[in-house]
Amino acid sequence: MFIHKLQNIFRLGCKELWSLWRDPIMLLLITYTFTMSIYTGASSMPESLNNAPIGIVDEDHSALSERVSSAFYPPLFTPFETQLDQMDAGMDAGLYSFSMTIPSRFQEDILANRGATVQVNVDATRVTQALTGSSYIQQIILTEVNSYLQGHRSVTSLPVDLELRARFNPTLDRQWFGGIMQVINNVTMLSIILTGAALIREREHGTVEHLLVMPVTVFEIMMAKVWSMGLVVLVASFVAVHLVVKGFMHIPIEGNLWLFFLGASLSLFATTSLGIYMATVAKSMPQFGLLMMLVLIPLQMLSGGLTPRESMPEVVQNIMQFAPTTHFVNLAQAILYRNAGFDVVWMPFLCLFAIGAVFFYFALKRFKETIHTMT
């Protein structure tokens, strides 16, 4: 009897894979999600300062003003020499994120200890760059002025020698973090989409009624969708990690990938069950898409993958303990970034299994109720 159930689950799962293979839109979505989406998500750095355009108006044309102007160079800034009457127009047109005006007699006032004012305009619509860039500009100007007055670049002697070592990402390259997190987020997103779309597609095509007259149970139908769609996402993420993350983007991964994919399998068990539950609530694909936005965005934004969970309100942290993405992000970062073993991540594994079992139970119960109403 048990072997017969396994055979039914396997064959129904193969049917789901064949249906997916004949759906070009879904195949295109899978391909894009685990290729271009990973690259664009990792290489776009909205909160980092990267070649920010800065317009520089030098009205002094002194050695000090030229020294300050030449201190703004890539990869932080892309300098542009401009005129005072063109500066506001350039800011309005979005040509410059920053503009700096060095007044006349700037060097003379500095040497005479009369003080000088450098005007810096910031495009605050680019909030993340504005905050970071303002501090960089202030630091660069003060450093160049002080070194000019001293005649050389001096190093301040501190009573404590501080050695800073950036572990797990020694170059502080955001792509190392962004690439892996994009894979983690896409695993959650695509597993919900594929399982939900598979169920809604059968309901719209009327094939659910065909399954009900066959000698299969609701549990077998649902389990087939879980393993087949989970397998697709798992294989796609495996290929993406090796070809896109490690091969194309050259992001080193020190952790045990087999342990990571084991944790991903438990997370897929929970998210595919969630996708089926959402598909039973929605009546059509447009409704499912709207419902997915309400569920997926909080799962990704509050899981700790984009911002530390410690910075969130305590009530949000407590609620997100019941979300599978929270524990998946926790174990994935520990394994892939810090090379943690199972003795470190066993608790997230256990939580994922418990959450997945609960999600599967409620999804199965809801699925049975939906099937009974159809019959």
Mean pLDDT of 39-62: 80
In the chain, % of residues over pLDDT 70: 91
Residue 122's φ and ψ, nearest 5 degrees, are -125, 135
| Per-residue pLDDT tens over the stretch 143-160 | 888 888 887 555 556 577
DSSP string of 201-267, one letter each residue: HHHHHTHHHHHHTSS--HHHHHHHHHHHHHHHHHHHHHHIIIIIIIIIS-----S-HHHHHHHHHHH
Amino acid 57: pLDDT: 92
Determine the Cα–Cα distance for residues 190 and 298; give it in Å rounded to an integer. 15
Determine the Cα–Cα distance for residues 108 and 115; give it in Å rounded to an integer. 9
Determine the Cα–Cα distance for residues 269 and 6; give it in Å rounded to an integer. 17
Q: Which of 98, 116, 150 is the last residue of a domain?
A: 150
Same domain, 259 and 191: yes
Amino acid 263: pLDDT: 92
As a whole number, the mean pLDDT across the chain is: 85
| Per-residue pLDDT tens over the stretch 162-172 | 677 777 777 66
Who wins on pLDDT, 216 or 162? 216
Mean pLDDT of 89-110: 88
Q: Which residues, in sequence order, are bridge partners of residue 54?
A: 79, 98
pLDDT score of 374 more than 60: no
pTM above 0.85, yes or no: no
Q: Residues near 225 by Cβ (< 8 Å), separated by ≥ 6? A: 12, 13, 16, 195, 198, 199, 272, 276
Same domain, 210 and 320: yes
**DSSP H or E segment with residue 81:** strand 77-81
Q: Which of 90, 120, 150 is the last residue of a domain?
A: 150
pLDDT score of 67 more than 60: yes
Same domain, 135 and 179: no
Amino acid 219: pLDDT: 86
Same domain, 191 and 141: no
Who wins on pLDDT, 272 or 178? 272
Amino acid 101: pLDDT: 92
| Per-residue pLDDT tens over the stretch 29-38 | 899 989 888 8
Please give the tally of structural domains in the chain.
Answer: 2
Determine the Cα–Cα distance for residues 17 and 195; give it in Å rounded to an integer. 11
Determine the Cα–Cα distance for residues 23 and 122; give it in Å rounded to an integer. 48
Residue 111's φ and ψ, nearest 5 degrees, are -70, -30
Same domain, 114 and 174: no
In a domain, 155, yes or no: no
Same domain, 39 and 186: yes
Mean pLDDT of 239-261: 88
Same domain, 213 and 319: yes
Same domain, 95 and 117: yes
Structure tokens at 357: 């079992």
pLDDT score of 64 more than 60: yes
Amino acid 212: pLDDT: 66
In a domain, 162, yes or no: no
Amino acid 39: pLDDT: 85
| Per-residue pLDDT tens over the stretch 185-206 | 899 999 999 998 888 887 777 6
Q: Which amino acid is at 152?
A: H
Q: Which of 90, 123, 150 is the last residue of a domain?
A: 150
Determine the Cα–Cα distance for residues 43 and 50; give it in Å rounded to an integer. 11
In a domain, 164, yes or no: no
In a domain, 156, yes or no: no
Amino acid 167: pLDDT: 74
In a domain, 17, yes or no: yes
| Per-residue pLDDT tens over the stretch 1-19 | 678 788 888 888 888 888 8
In a domain, 157, yes or no: no
Query: What is the domain-level CATH number for residue 61?
Result: 3.40.1710.10
Same domain, 206 and 288: yes
Q: Which pLDDT band holds residue 357 (cuts at 50, 70, 90)?
A: very high
Same domain, 221 and 357: yes
Amino acid 75: pLDDT: 80
In a domain, 264, yes or no: yes
Same domain, 33 and 112: no
Determine the Cα–Cα distance for residues 251 and 246; give it in Å rounded to an integer. 5
Amino acid 175: pLDDT: 74
Structure tokens at 252: 């080193």
| Per-residue pLDDT tens over the stretch 277-327 | 998 888 888 889 889 888 888 888 888 877 778 778 889 888 888 999 999
Amino acid 222: pLDDT: 85
Which residue range forms the structural domain that includes residue 101?
Answer: 52-150
Amino acid 155: pLDDT: 54
pLDDT score of 270 more than 90: yes
Same domain, 223 and 363: yes
Amino acid 15: pLDDT: 85
In a domain, 269, yes or no: yes
Amino acid 1: pLDDT: 66
Q: Which pLDDT band holds residue 129 (cuts at 50, 70, 90)?
A: confident
pLDDT score of 375 more than 60: no
